[in-house]
């Protein structure tokens, strides 16, 4: 039975350029602030920080490559469609690696912050599950395992279609552009999500340190003002001296 949903139109290369440019700046800023927050807190850089950096590198590669491919293969010919499909598979691998590294950074951070054994065991299980998920989807993309590939596409972006209505399906580049746009948003938001906790904590620590210094300076200034105030208890003696002289 045919559905009545309208498929969204594919974004232009200019729109994708704008989206990737904004997300590139925000992702770079988030990871830079994360490392700066670690430095301010005088904490060592551990696995969660380096995993976030590796995820950032994969995200930047995805942002640049996806924009270039869509700009160059908007209307693929019979010759260039093969190259475009190869690039699509490569982008899928980069996307999975970026998402996996982001999740690993997040769960490793949880394991670093919480000291209880149940949370440690849960994080260890999730780290193992994410690692297996990465390996499974990379192999599925390389070997083009249809069942896993369809499942991944369904959960990545919901584009419902009927396999018996071949004439109603969008072109390859239309679908690829939609998936690329969604993946760009997905991987970059993942970078922001994994860094926001560390950055927020660093901001709180910096604010607390500066607030403590301001309170200390205010207290010292008040004490200095009290020390330099005139002693009005000697006022009667001063008045008597003035009258005697007069």
Q: What is the tens place of the pLDDT at every residue in 172-224?
A: 666 677 777 888 888 888 888 888 888 887 666 666 665 656 666 666 655 65
Is pLDDT of 2 > 60? no
Work out the mean pLDDT of the chain and round it to a whole number: 73
State the Cα torsion 129-130-135-138 to the nearest 10°: 140
Is residue 182 in some structural domain? yes
Enclosing domain of residue 158? 13-227
Is pLDDT of 23 > 60? yes
CB atoms within 10 A of CB 237: 9
Is pLDDT of 242 > 90? no
Is residue 240 in some structural domain? no
What confidence category does residue 7 fall into, taking pLDDT thresholds of 50, 70 and 90? low
- What radius of gyration do the chain's Cα atoms show? 30
Is residue 70 in some structural domain? yes
Is residue 245 in some structural domain? no
Backbone angles phi, psi at 43, to 5 degrees: -110, 150
User: How many domains does the chain fold into?
Assistant: 1
For residues 19-48, average pLDDT: 86
Least confident of 86-90, 97-101, 161-165, 187-191: 161-165
Q: In angstroms, what CA-CA distances link 131 with 80, 101, 109, 155?
A: 34, 9, 16, 18
């Amino acid at each position: 039975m045919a559905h009545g949903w309208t498929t969204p139109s594919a974004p232009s290369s200019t729109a994708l350029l704008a989206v990737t440019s904004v997300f590139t700046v925000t992702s770079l800023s988030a990871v830079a602030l994360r490392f700066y927050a670690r430095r301010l807190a005088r904490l060592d850089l551990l696995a969660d920080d380096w995993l976030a950096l590796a995820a950032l590198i994969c995200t930047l590669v995805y942002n640049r490559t996806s924009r270039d491919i869509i700009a160059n293969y908007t209307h693929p010919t019979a010759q260039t469609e093969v190259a475009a499909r190869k690039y699509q598979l490569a982008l899928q691998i980069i996307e999975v690696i970026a998402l996996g590294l982001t999740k690993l950074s997040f769960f490793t951070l949880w394991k670093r912050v919480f000291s209880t054994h149940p949370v440690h065991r849960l994080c260890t299980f999730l780290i193992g599950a994410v690692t297996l998920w990465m390996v499974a989807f990379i192999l599925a993309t390389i070997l083009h395992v249809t069942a896993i590939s369809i499942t991944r596409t369904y959960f990545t972006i919901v584009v419902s279609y009927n396999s018996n209505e071949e004439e109603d399906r969008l072109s390859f580049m239309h679908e690829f552009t939609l998936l690329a746009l969604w993946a760009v948003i997905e991987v970059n938001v993942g970078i922001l999500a994994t860094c926001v906790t560390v950055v927020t904590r660093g901001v709180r620590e910096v604010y607390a340190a500066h607030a403590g210094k301001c309170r200390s300076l205010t207290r010292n200034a008040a004490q200095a003002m009290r020390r330099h105030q005139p002693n009005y208890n000697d006022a009667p003696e001063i008045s008597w001296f003035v009258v005697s002289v007069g």
